[in-house]
Amino acid sequence: MKTVVVIPTYNERMNILPLIERCMALPIPLDLFFVDDGSPDGTGEYLESLRSTYPCLRVMHRSGKLGLGTAYRQAFRSLLTEPYDRYVAMDADLSHPPESIPDLLRASADADLVIGSRYIDGGVCKNWSAARRLLSRTANNVARALLSLDVMDATAGFRCYRRELLDALNRVNVRSNGYSFQIEMAYYSQLMGFRLTEVPIVFEDRVRAKSKMSHAEITGAIKTLVQLSLHRCSGQSLPDDIQLPEKIRDRTSL
Ligand SMILES: Nc1nc2c(ncn2[C@@H]2O[C@H](COP(=O)(O)OP(=O)(O)O)[C@@H](O)[C@H]2O)c(=O)[nH]1
Ligand SMILES: [Mg+2]
């Protein structure tokens, strides 16, 4: 099974080396694909300098801070042209423990989208401020209520997608540029009838560098939630050219 880990970075220089070392210490082969948005702290250049030591590492450089959602979309589109079976997504800040990647991959034997979850039994969320906790819980509760999502942690960025799901999502009109991309991807995955599951993770707030969460991201998430609930209320259409795999078509909720 060929797996690539996609990691968007913006000013994460201090987190890069421990992240790569912990990924490389895992007993499974992984390719690492970073998407750096011209980080002013030199993350992109630093990643380039590590390529000779870690041949499995690649970097997509973009011209400026273009958003988390577009970083993932661009990376996934490019990596779908390569023969990967699993696409893991994670933050660069070590909040998502690389040691849980094997759990996500194992669970992907029976699920198309596996979410590394803070909010199911066994999931832990450490050292997060009360404000961040409240924001995350509220976003999840609202997403579940408005979109009938079957997962407890739809905002989580630690995920594993099977190839056929990512291929279908690539043809859906996913619009979020920022953090709400995660909710939108979970929504369309469920809508198309793909199987979603969660595995518990121990999430720990970053120790180094700063979070990029902002008021603009919160506003963007509210906009996405409104758009998706309107989409849901208006008959849940998907583009005509979406070719769902037959076994998925049988159980789609459309
Ligand atoms: N390429 C890229 N990466 C981003 C952008 N915004 C955030 N990130 C990265 O996305 C991940 C999640 O951001 P983070 O600050 O950890 O958000 P938090 O976990 O919600 O506090 C981190 O690896 C960031 O460096 C962006 O605009 N472009
Ligand atoms: Mg983070």
For the chain, the structural domain boundaries read 3-249
The ligand minimizing its distance to the Cα of 217 is 1
Of the CA atoms within 13 Å of residue 148, those in its CB half-sphere come to 9
Q: Residue 84 in contact with residue 2, Cβ under 8 Å?
A: yes
Cα of 234 to ligand 1 centre, how many Å? 32
Question: Which of the listed residues 13, 20, 212, 217 should we mutate to test ligand 1's pocket, taking the one with most ligand atoms within 8 A of CB?
Answer: 212
Q: Which two tokens stand for residue 70?
A: 């577009």
Structure tokens at 204: 């720990």
The whole-angstrom separation of Cα 38 and Cα 9 is 9
pLDDT of residue 237: 72
- What's the chain's average pLDDT? 93
Asked if 7 and 75 count as a contact pair (C-beta separation under 8 A), the reply is no
Three-state DSSP class for 30?
Answer: coil
pTM: 0.94
Is the confidence at residue 204, as pLDDT, over 90? yes
22 and 99 Cβ atoms separated by less than 8 Å: yes
pLDDT tens readout for residues 81-121: 999 999 999 999 999 999 999 999 999 999 999 999 999 99
Per-residue tokens: 149: 């999502």
Decide if domain 3-249 falls under CATH 3.90.550.10: yes
Cβ contacts of residue 235 below 8 Å, gap of 6+? Answer: none
- HSE, side-chain direction, 13 A CA sphere, residue 223: 12
Q: Which helix (H) or strand (E) holds 225?
A: helix 215-233
pLDDT at residue 241 is higher than 90? no
CA of 211 to the centre of ligand 2 (A): 6
Contact present, 183 and 224 (Cβ < 8 Å): yes
Neighbours of ion ligand 2 (CB under 5 A): 91, 93, 95
Digit-coded pLDDT (tens) for 36-80: 999 999 999 999 999 999 999 999 999 999 999 999 999 999 999
- Predicted confidence at residue 98, as pLDDT, reads 98
The four Cα atoms 75, 70, 46, 202 give a dihedral, to 10 degrees, of: -90
Ligand 1, closest atom to CA 206? 16
Ligand 1, residues at Cβ distance < 6 Å? 8-10, 12, 35-37, 65-68, 71, 91-93, 95, 157, 211-213
Residue 250 pLDDT grade (very low, low, confident, very high; cuts 50, 70, 90): low
**Beta strand segments in the chain, E:** 3-9, 31-36, 57-61, 86-89, 113-117, 124-126, 159-162, 196-200, 202-204
